[in-house]
Amino acid sequence: MGQNTTLAITLVVFGSFCYALSASFQHRAIKRKVRRNEEKAPLGFRAFLSTIRSRRWLAGAGLLGVSALLQVIALSMAPVSVVQPVGLLAFPWSILIQARLHRQRIRRRVGLAVLLTVGATAAFTVLSALHAVPQSDLNGVRVAVGAAVVYLLTLAFGLLGARGPKHWRCLLWSSGGAMLYGLEAALVKSLIDFIRHTQWWHSPLLIGILAALVIGSSTAGWMIQQGFATGPSEIVVGSTTITSPVIAVTYGIAVLGEGRLLDNLTGGLMALFAALAVAGVVVLTRLDKSWDERPLLH
């Protein structure tokens, strides 16, 4: 599939909406199993098995699958540093979805924060797309070292999520899972370019990337579910939409060489717009309030 940045961005915008709706479904499904979790304890294996049999959780899983599929298709048409930042839009989507579900009006400050996030994300994406490289500079050693760094960070966040301060556990679990999601997006892009431009069928790098994708995606999914079990869905979606693009873009520039065409001015503007987008999400996290839980599916 050839380069088509406009279509790739369009697919990821729709995918970010699917992700936000998925989080709403799965959060409600898990909260039925941990209605009172003052201790912020991790979700047990039996409770998790019971949860994933509910139609609400399965509906969320289906939407998550659609979001992932759209992201993979988008990554085949554009660099990860273009595709992944658009995922920031999942958090404004989640605010709008919650307001619609519970028939509450969006407060003015929340609306302004949504506009700030969307506008800054759009500006960052346009600059990144205009300076995107047509092919990643794939190097097996850099891929392995970059992945190892992310795995170590994820391990630290997971340990803190399980044993750390109670009021930080949801954020820590979610951020750890989001790191792996960001790495997964970068690895998918690496895999696509690797298959396109090398004799991949007998390379150990292919096996390594595939193994990392399987282990990383399953671990990330588990950590995100722990985030739902230990806090509100707004924190999960907010931390995911901040952390995942940061990891993916950093990996794309540092490991895959996607920043080769950036000059200092463009890099500075991209950093500014990225900071504004993150600031918008942080403001939304502070301004947003938890609506009363209402079932989406019986």
In tens digits, what is the pLDDT along the chain, a chain of 298 residues?
456 888 988 999 999 999 888 988 887 787 776 665 555 566 667 777 777 778 888 998 899 899 989 988 998 888 887 888 888 788 788 877 777 776 777 677 777 877 887 788 778 777 877 776 766 677 778 888 888 999 999 999 999 988 888 878 888 898 899 899 888 888 888 788 777 766 666 677 778 888 888 898 889 988 988 888 887 776 787 778 778 888 888 888 878 877 777 788 888 888 898 888 777 767 766 665 444 444 433 3
Contact 179, 163 (CB under 8 A): no
Tell me how far apart the alpha carbons of residues 5 and 13 are, in angstroms, rounded to a whole number: 12
Q: What is the pLDDT of residue 295?
A: 40
Residues 6+ apart with CB under 8 A from 274: 85, 120, 124, 246, 249
**By C-alpha distance, which of 287, 182, 285, 179 is closest to 237?**
285
224 burial class (0-12, 13-18, 19+ CB within 10 angstroms)? buried
Long-range contacts of 64-71 (CB under 8 A, 24+ apart): 64/18, 64/19, 64/22, 64/26, 66/15, 66/18, 67/15, 67/16, 67/18, 67/19, 67/22, 68/15, 70/11, 70/12, 70/14, 70/15, 70/18, 71/11, 71/12, 71/15, 71/185, 71/188
0.95 surpassed by pTM: no
Residues 6+ apart with CB under 8 A from 14: 70
Tell me how far apart the alpha carbons of residues 60 and 42 are, in angstroms, rounded to a whole number: 20
Query: What Å distances lie between residue 244 and 85, 120, 231, 297, CA to CA?
Result: 8, 17, 19, 29
